[in-house]
Chains A and B, each alone.
Chain A
Amino acid sequence: MRTTTLRGRAALAVTALSLTVLLGACGTDDTTAVADTSDTSEASADSAAEATADQASSLSVEDPWVKTAESGMTAAFGTLVNTGDTDVTVVSATTEASAMTELHETVDADGSMSMQQVEGGFVVPAGGELVLEPGGNHLMMMDVVEPVEAGADVAFTLTLDDGSTLDFTASGRDFSGADEEYADGSDSDMGGMDMDDDMDMGAGEDSTEAP
């Protein structure tokens, strides 16, 4: 557990597996997407609705959850599902539980994983989905002001690039698997955040070692 190499390897494995999960899930959801196309065309007949609610009406969040936190930073995860026939872009997220919330991606910089704000928002492909998960994309709660407790509901609002919004509630979960523990003061440079190179949260001694 304390060997950086081992944990690093485990982290990579998780990322690879997540990809498999994503692909597998896409396969099943395609059917839903096809079945729902008629709904979408019906909606677009109503041009007034299109401007305000069209993108949001074809987007849903499945299995949303938030990693519990007393304060500081944490993140929310889930699967964004787009049943529409155009791509949907999430441009921002808000929750009362956090003073600031960002859309983050995790990137591999020279073998060490770090996260940063995603440029251009989260694009959810037409008839497809985007998985938010530890070690990958996530909704980053930068400053938790209302403690997130296990089993409690946390309300979020996503704003899409057409201005429409989508509300959802995520369930708090204790989680110590990957991601989301960040080095002290790492909220400094370039709006990006370096996290532990082994992507493991938990042990405080690791956090202090991180850049």
Chain B
Amino acid sequence: MSAADQTTGRGLGRRRLLRSGAVALAGAGAGWAGSAAARAADGAAPPAAADDVLTISPPDGAETVPYLGPHQAGVATPPQAHLVLLGLDLVDGTDTDDLRRLLRVVGDDAARLTQGEPALSDTEPELAPRPSRLTVTIGLGPRVVDELVPGDLTLAPLPSFSTDRFEEPWGQTDLALQLCADDPTTLAHARRMLLKDTASFATVRWVQTGFRSARGSQPDGTTMRNLMGQVDGTVNPAQADGDFADLVWADGPGAFAGGTVMVVRRIRSEMDTWDKVSRQGKELAVGRRLDTGAPLTGTAEHDEPDFDAVDDNGLKVIDAASHIARARSDDPAERFLRRGYNYQVHRDDGTDDAGLVFTVFCADAERQFVPVQRRLAQQDRLNEWITTIGSAVYAVPPGVASTDDAPGLALLEES
């Protein structure tokens, strides 16, 4: 070792480097593809990264998510690192034909941009070729479903919950465009192109940006952490599960088959008061450990929580009022896909506002989401440190089989 390497910091860094080098060599021959395949084979449960070895595959900006298919992308798609959620209001006097034209334009550019092609009238085509798994998901709000979509589709606004503390501007809009990608530059470009497309049809009410860990900073499939430090998303329907389709994809009515409902709740984490809670108190509030995300009755993240276990004093190990105890329903139909993102923005008062753009996808929000949210509003230890400041719900039409079509057009043909 050289003298420089013997300083603690450098030495440690060097050792880590050598170890991860060894890991890379172990997979030699197959190279990065080999290590990626190894992880893929592990499926839903990626190897818990030993704390001194990190296998990082280079993020591939050329990677695309198919645009065509029975469902819109960006729902079952493994969450990309970044979110831009656009809440749009149609201009006064918009009719079904206007909406049709809007969907055509947005659908057409979504088809191009997600596949790494420039938008039709792209002013910065150089920003298009690294789609980084870009997806564009189009959602229609209750007013649009009500007034502009013929046929039997209905979409009720969410009821109010006792914990709602809504702030402007995070309410219901006519349309939502959910843009997700692993690269924020890609996302910024797509956002700009799509907002140009919608400019003559709609105004922007809000933009909700969000993030997870950078792609490649940990093995793909690692459950995200939210800004409260928790492992968030452990118990979540996975595509491999037999009931995923039933939980997420609507079977109608009519041309809505293959669609889904997106619920967006903007939930602030009260970080200043959260900071004052002991580690034990934090774990009690959720019912899971902060380090591994394991239930307080288990040792590994995916261990099944034992809601009946009691400690020496006869007290429940997982408190009945904890977040996971309250969020789990006895009715297996009251489940949904959580696909949220962290947010952090700076406020005019000089403080940060952080939390979750809590996004849910389910076939039927009233049947699946509302009962759970209602129960959490009634009681949930976590409520002391979270505040719901925005809420919206959207009907997400099914995907399309051809780029001549666009999501939602089929709904407008129905009479």
Contact = CB atoms under 8 A, between A and B. Distances in A.
Contacts of A173: 105, 120-121, 197
B104 interface: yes
A154 to B, nearest CB: 12
Contact of B101 (A67, A77, A151): A151
A8 to B, nearest CB: 16
Contacts of A177: 121, 123
B196 interface: yes
A98 interface: no
B108 interface: yes
B43 interface: no
Secondary structure dominating the interface of B:
helix
Interface in A43-75: 63, 65, 67-68
Of residues B103, B199, B200, which shows the largest number of chain A Cβ atoms within 10 Å of its Cβ? B200
B121 A150 contact: no
A150 B120 contact: no
Contact of A174 (B100, B126, B199): B199
Given A17-B126, A151-B100, A175-B121, A68 B105 contact: no
A17 B196 CA distance: 21
Given A171-B120, A174-B196, A150 B105 contact: yes
Given A150-B105, A152-B101, A174 B120 contact: no
B136 to A, nearest CB: 16
Nearest to A178: B123
A58 B60 CA distance: 38
Interface size band for B: 10 to 19
Most B CB contacts (10 A, CB to CB) among A173, A177, A178 go to: A173
Contact of A171 (B103, B108, B201): B108
Interface in B107-135: 108, 120-121, 123, 125-126
A171 B126 contact: no
B125 A150 contact: no
Given A17-B125, A63-B120, A65-B120, A171 B105 contact: yes
B102 interface: yes
Interface of A: 14, 17, 21, 63, 65, 67-68, 77, 134, 149-152, 171-175, 177-178
Interface of B: 100-105, 108, 120-121, 123, 125-126, 196-197, 199-201
A-B CB proximity, top 6 nearest: A151-B101, A151-B105, A177-B123, A151-B104, A173-B121, A175-B121
